[in-house]
Amino acid sequence: MMEGNFKIEIASPEKMIFSEQNVQEVTLPSYEGEMGILKDHVSIIAFLKPGIVKILKSPEAINSFFVEDGIIEFYKNNLTILSSKIVNVKDLNKDKITQLISETEKILKDEKLDDNSRYLANHKIDTLQSLALN
Partner 1 sequence: MASLDDLKKRIVSVKSTQKITKAMKMVAAAKLRKAQENAEKGRPYSEKMNNIILNLSNGISDKENAPKLLSGTGEDKTHLCIVLTSDRGLCGGFNTNIIKKAKAYFKKISNEGKTLKIITVGSKGYDQLKRIYKDNIIEKISFKDSKTINYLDAEKVGKVIIDIFGKKEFDVCTIFYNRFKNVITQIPQEQQIIPLKASKAVGDLSEDNYEFEPEEDEILNNLLPKNISTQIFKAMLENSASEQGSRMSAMDNATRNAGEMVDKLTIEYNRSRQAAITKELIEIISGAESL
Per CB under 8 A, the segment of 24-32, 60-68, 86-94, 119-127 that binds partner 1 is: 24-32
The reply on whether position 47 binds partner 1 by CB under 8 A is: yes
The beta strand positions in the chain, using DSSP E, are 6-11, 16-23, 25-30, 33-37, 44-48, 51-58, 61-67, 70-75, 78-82, 86-88
Q: How far apart are CA 132 and CA 134, in angstroms?
A: 5
The reply on whether position 31 binds partner 1 by CB under 8 A is: yes
The reply on whether position 59 binds partner 1 by CB under 8 A is: no
Q: How far apart are CA 81 and CA 63, in angstroms?
A: 14
The reply on whether position 114 binds partner 1 by CB under 8 A is: no
Q: Which one among 13, 90, 91, 114 touches partner 1, defined by CB under 8 A?
A: 13
Of the candidates 71, 70, 81, the residue with the CA atom closest to the CA atom of residue 26: 81
Q: How far is the CB of 83 from partner 1 (least distance, A)?
A: 9
Give me the residues that bind partner 1 (CB under 8 A), please. 9, 11-16, 30-32, 35, 42-47, 71, 73, 75-76, 80, 82, 84
